[in-house]
Amino acid sequence: MSGTSKLTVVGAGAVGSSVAYAALIRESARDIALYDIAPEKTEAEVLDLAHGSFFAGSSQITGGSDIAVAADSDIVVITAGAKQRPGQTRLELAATNARIMGTLMPQLIDVAPDAVYVIVTNPCDVLTLLADESSGLPAGRVFASGTALDSSRLRWEIARRAGVSTSSVHAQIVGEHGDSEFPVWSTATIGTVPILEWRGEDGTGFDRAELERIAVDVRDAAYTVIRGKGATNYAIGLSSARIVEAVLRDEHAILPVAPVLRGEHGIDGVALSVPCVLGRHGARPIAGTPFDAEERAALQRSAESLRAVAAGLRG
């Protein structure tokens, strides 16, 4: 952990508090600040986290309802926004959260002009495009958490069915963080074995039909959690903390996150999750990532879906 690293989490709801908690116990940053416009809620969350800091290593946590708590941040994770209501369209949610983001970004950049910005608020891909356009920051300094969590869900599901450790599964979800996302099966492996060639101890493996079922299960996993408990928060907290670590430690780790693409994979002007190198520079897409013809077409469809939402917001 860097001795001078500072993380600010914007939003003290279930997701933001989980990001702060995960970062605290993982010691993702030396200083952690929690910002929200609700003073009583924010103070309560900060106190609850601070009271347990004795058990969590050397990280310190502060916070409040004044944007100044974000001053001099090295990285800012934005979770603030409205949740999707029953019957509300994705475009309606995007419009509401775009207004929130439009107010937040200038204020944050004013106090933390050198930070890397990670957008978690949904729809994160579209909001990242808007935040990037308004920020004036260099390419890659604003990006969405994207499909980093979806990829973790995918690896967990494959590992569970194959009877191996999740760390031995190498597979990623790319595209939109949403309905048009898809797994990159063409390069997926268990250990060094291509996924379609894998055979367990009992001789069973994966066929195309099962892989498609897994893809659907992963895509719909968040809906299952939300139906049961109202929100997803622990897993996104952990995945966000991992992103924070990769940036603050300048790891040059590779994760599928969503910066605005500028010609990579033949796509321009859309924030879309693809494998990226993460470090103090932010997120840099890996231009040489291999996709087969079907996957390239799916990536283009995902881009067009997001482009349509962005166009709808612009009227």
Q: What value does the mean pLDDT take over residues 226-248?
A: 95
Percent of the chain clearing pLDDT 70 (strictly above): 97
* Cα radius of gyration rounded to whole Å, the chain: 19
Q: Is there a contact between 273 and 257 (Cβ–Cβ < 8 Å)?
A: yes
Lowest mean pLDDT among 107-111, 206-210, 228-232: 228-232
Q: Using 50, 70 and 90 to split pLDDT, how confident is the model at 83?
A: confident
Residue 4 CB-density burial (10 A; 0-12 exposed, 13-18 middle, 19+ buried):
exposed
Instruction: Determine the pLDDT at residue 106.
Output: 96
Mean pLDDT of 246-260: 98
pLDDT of 259 strictly over 90: yes
Active-site residue, 177 included:
yes
**Percent of the chain topping pLDDT 90:** 84
Q: Residue 230: phi, psi to the nearest 5?
A: 95, -20
Q: Which of 177, 252, 265, 281 is catalytic?
A: 177
Both tokens of residue 300? Answer: 């283009």
pLDDT band at 313 (very low <50, low <70, confident <90, very high): confident
What are the CA-CA distances from residue 211 to residues 150, 203, 214 (Å)? 15, 17, 5
pLDDT score at 86: 66
Q: What is the pLDDT of residue 3?
A: 54
Average pLDDT over residues 225-232: 89
* CA atoms of 273 and 255, how far apart (whole Å): 9
> Is the predicted pLDDT of residue 1 greater than 70, yes or no?
no
Q: Tell the residue number behind the tokens 């997926």, with chain if given.
A: 188
Average pLDDT of the chain is 94
Query: Cα(142)–Cα(247) distance, rounded to whole angstroms?
Result: 12
State residue 2's pLDDT score. Answer: 44
Tokens representing 5?
């690293």
Q: Which whole number is the average pLDDT over 212-227?
A: 92
The answer, yes or no, to whether residue 309 has pLDDT greater than 60, is yes
pLDDT above 80: residue 4: no
Nearest alpha-carbon partner for 240 in 177, 162, 180, 309:
177
